[in-house]
Amino acid sequence: MNTTSRECTKNVQSVDKAFELLETISEHKNGMPLEQLAARCGLNKNRTQRLAATLCKRGLVEQEKGTGVYRMGIHSVVIAQKFLQNSHLLNHAHPIMAELAKKHGEAVYLTVIKGGEVVFVDMIDSNRNIKATSLVGKKFPFHTNAAGKVLAALDSWDLLEKLLAKLKNRSGIVGLGLLRSELDDIRSKGVAVDVDALGDDISSVAVVVRDYAGKVVGALTMLGPSFRMLQTRLEQEIIPSLCEYAEILSLKFGYAQVS
């Protein structure tokens, strides 16, 4: 490898680690001290400090005076807002989510799948007094919740096989046969339901949204306390409504289901 190639590789690795720092900081609302951040990202303190200083210079990260704790910077919020404003999926989904939340009095999320994880990217909250903590910006392994399972199950077989192969290679993952059976059932029904997956006594229901080519682009996910998300209500009210609104949203992306 020549000098130029080594420099390019080194630069790419630095960028990758900088993004890892940014992502790690974003997961801790109270911020992270240098030592903890370095340990979490597998770096020494000097390199962590240099990368964090670059992020601070760009306004993506801020360092608290006195404590030295690193937090998300204001420019990261600006970038996130630009993303939200320019995302066709979010722009189309938000008013439909608002209608669903108003109709059923439960929180409605837009979720997408990325690299084997489901990401909660937008939410319209419930107007009820008892509600769950916001999951916007949170990521979870796809196989641990309804949103991830329905996104994986109803996407292409190739994606599903890749995701299952990754799980098979991880230590501590058991019950792949049962998971595959569950995903097959979700694929046939077109809807996924879970209880306690996203928190104690929390239930969620998810259905997918497709584009003009039939590709899964996201999922509408309704979430609420289990004492309100009773089986009869799910079957008679929530699931039919979610399917209806997911179809409306899919039509906005040119999807037309062949009968």
* 133 and 218 fall within a common domain: yes
Q: What is the pLDDT along the chain (259 residues), one digit of tens a residue?
A: 555 555 556 666 778 888 888 888 888 778 888 898 898 888 888 998 988 888 898 888 888 888 889 988 877 766 665 555 555 777 889 999 999 999 999 999 999 998 888 999 999 998 888 777 788 888 899 999 999 999 999 988 888 888 888 777 665 555 678 888 899 999 999 999 999 999 899 999 999 999 888 889 999 999 999 999 999 999 999 999 999 999 999 998 888 765 5
pLDDT, one tens digit per residue, over 188-197 is 999 999 999 9
Token pair belonging to 77: 């919020």
User: Is residue 259 included in any domain, yes or no?
Assistant: no
CA distance linking residue 12 with residue 14, whole number of Å? 5
- CA trace torsion 112, 258, 103, 206 (10° rounding): -30
Q: Which string of DSSP letters, residue by residue, matches 22-44? A: HHHHHT-TT-B-HHHHHHHHT--
* 53 and 121 fall within a common domain: no
CA distance linking residue 187 with residue 173, whole number of Å? 22
Q: Find the CATH number of the domain harbouring 15.
A: 1.10.10.10
CA distance linking residue 243 with residue 186, whole number of Å? 13
Instruction: Return the axis-axis angle of helices 34-41 and 3-26, rounded to nearest 10°.
Output: 120
* 170 and 204 fall within a common domain: yes
pLDDT, one tens digit per residue, over 20-50 is 888 888 887 788 888 988 988 888 889 989 8
Q: Which residues pair with 208 in a beta bridge?
A: 219
**Distance set, CA 236 to CA 41, 105, 189, 196, 231 (Å):** 47, 15, 15, 21, 9
Taking the CB of residue 32, how many other CB atoms lie within 10 A of it?
A: 22
Phi, psi of 159 (to 5 degrees): -65, -45
User: Is residue 111 included in any domain, yes or no?
Assistant: yes
Question: Which among 33, 52, 77 is the end of a domain?
Answer: 77
Q: Find the CATH number of the domain harbouring 145.
A: 3.30.450.40
What is the pLDDT at residue 242?
96
Angle at the Cα of 132 (from 127 to 135), degrees rounded to 5? 110
Amino acid at 251: L
User: Is residue 222 included in any domain, yes or no?
Assistant: yes
CA distance linking residue 185 with residue 256, whole number of Å? 23
Residue corresponding to tokens 């940014």: 22
What is the pLDDT at residue 188?
93
Question: Which among 21, 56, 77 is the end of a domain?
Answer: 77
* 52 and 32 fall within a common domain: yes
What is the pLDDT at residue 241?
96
Decide: helix, strand or coil at residue 74.
helix
> Which residue, among 36, 32, 94, 95, has the nearest Cα to 64 in the 3D structure?
32
Statement: the pTM of the whole predicted model exceeds 0.85: no
CA distance linking residue 241 with residue 110, whole number of Å? 15
What is the pLDDT at residue 234?
96
What is the pLDDT at residue 170?
64
Domain extent, residue 21, equals 3-77
* 25 and 124 fall within a common domain: no
User: Is residue 82 included in any domain, yes or no?
Assistant: no
User: Is residue 258 included in any domain, yes or no?
Assistant: no
What is the number of domains present in the chain?
A: 2
User: Is residue 26 included in any domain, yes or no?
Assistant: yes
* 38 and 95 fall within a common domain: no
* 71 and 94 fall within a common domain: no
User: Is residue 144 included in any domain, yes or no?
Assistant: yes
Go through 54-81 and write b for each residue having 16 or more CB atoms within 10 A of its CB, e for each that does not: ebeeeebbbbeeeeebbbbbeebeeeee
* 175 and 234 fall within a common domain: yes
* 72 and 101 fall within a common domain: no
